[in-house]
Amino acid sequence: MITPAQLIERYDGFLLDAYGVLLDDTGPLPGAADFLARLDAAGKPWLIVTNAASRLPEQLAADFTAKGLPLRARHLLTSGMLLQPYFAHQGLAGASCLLLGPPSAQGYVTRAGGRLVEDDRDAEVVVIADQNGVRWPEDFNRVLNLIMRRRTDAQPLHLLLCNPDLIFPCAPDTFSLTAGAMAVLLETVLNAHDPGQPLAFERLGKPCRPIFDQARELLGVQHLVMIGDQLGTDIRGALDAGMDAVLIGTGLAGGAPIIPDARGAQAGPLPRPTWQLRGLEDV
């Protein structure tokens, strides 16, 4: 077990998950605002690295501020922001995109260079940004039929999942399914229907390596630590990226959810964090 003060002394830069570490839907968790202020006072750079992709960073920062945790957009690295480098690397500027998520997520696609379409018969990219705003079963059926059509016609289709999380804490002892669960459902159904053509969404957020590499580049320091409440995303992703990782005893830490791999199967034994932390308050 380690304390917040010991962490601040030990590391040069900090990555923090948002929900379950700093706040939930009811507001900041105990010690969160003070911990961030102490990082600033110590000159330690930090980023909130979140799989949220329902709103742009400036909108998300305003929401966190309204909930009592003052933030600026520059302190946020969201999984939706990883769409831009993916589109650039894959040459997808101008590609037609079907988005699953709320209207507030559309900016991620357009900033990446994608072209949002209502008539998705010829969409070249599917982006699952967030569970909010998705209609059941209408939107699932749209994606299902699009994939099956393009498979039949041997046409390529990029399947992108911003948020690989399966569940998230929305209040004390209360949880919600997320976008990752939607992707797992589609993968499971389609791969059972046609096992000869294995299908998987490209996962952009934690625990995938690109979001951690981007965080390291943005902070400009090497000796980083990730503080998170999920073994399968926060802890595994940080360790795989060569960082130390702290499992905090808030949010989902008690449940230690198992995160599926790209085939929807268990992704192996859960990792051991470098440190454990009761909370962000020094007690």
Residue scoring higher pLDDT (160 or 222): 160
Q: Are residues 194 and 229 in the same domain?
A: no
Query: What pLDDT does 283 receive?
Result: 58
251: pLDDT confidence band, cut at 50, 70 and 90? confident
268: pLDDT confidence band, cut at 50, 70 and 90? low
Cα–Cα distance for residue pair 202/236, rounded to 1 Å: 17
Q: Are 258 and 47 in contact (CB under 8 A)?
A: no
Q: Which of 172, 203, 234 is the last residue of a domain?
A: 203
Kindly state the average pLDDT of the residues 22-31: 92
What lies within 8 Å, CB to CB, of 63 at 6+ separation is 55
Establish if 282 belongs to a structural domain: no
Q: What is the residue range of 123's domain?
A: 81-203
Q: Are residues 119 and 170 in the same domain?
A: yes
Cα distances from 223 to residues 7, 15, 46, 113, in angstroms, run 12, 11, 12, 33
Domain count, the chain: 2
Q: Are residues 193 and 123 in the same domain?
A: yes
Mean model confidence pLDDT for the chain: 91
Q: Are residues 55 and 94 in the same domain?
A: no
Does residue 265 surpass a pLDDT of 50?
no
Q: Are residues 74 and 85 in the same domain?
A: no
Cα distances from 233 to residues 22, 49, 122, 139, 164, in angstroms, run 16, 11, 33, 26, 8
**Residue 235 identity:** I
Query: What pLDDT does 167 receive?
Result: 84
Query: What pLDDT does 122 receive?
Result: 82
What lies within 8 Å, CB to CB, of 264 at 6+ separation is 184, 187, 188, 191
- pLDDT tens-place string over residues 170-205: 777 888 899 999 999 999 999 999 999 899 999 999
Q: Are residues 199 and 93 in the same domain?
A: yes
Q: Are 80 and 53 in contact (CB under 8 A)?
A: yes
| CATH (domain of 62) | 3.40.50.1000
If you compute the radius of gyration of the chain from its CA atoms, what whole number of angstroms results? 19
- pLDDT tens-place string over residues 35-74: 999 999 999 999 999 998 999 999 999 999 999 999 999 9
Q: Which of 178, 203, 228 is the last residue of a domain?
A: 203
Q: How far is residue 134 CA from its own chain's centroid?
A: 17
Q: Are residues 155 and 218 in the same domain?
A: no
Q: Are residues 123 and 232 in the same domain?
A: no
262: pLDDT confidence band, cut at 50, 70 and 90? very low
What lies within 8 Å, CB to CB, of 257 at 6+ separation is 166, 167, 230, 231, 232
Does residue 266 surpass a pLDDT of 50?
no
Establish if 104 belongs to a structural domain: yes
Query: What pLDDT does 102 receive?
Result: 96
By DSSP bridging, strand 46-50 and strand 13-16 are parallel
Q: Which of 203, 231, 252 is the last residue of a domain?
A: 203
232: pLDDT confidence band, cut at 50, 70 and 90? confident
Query: What pLDDT does 120 receive?
Result: 80
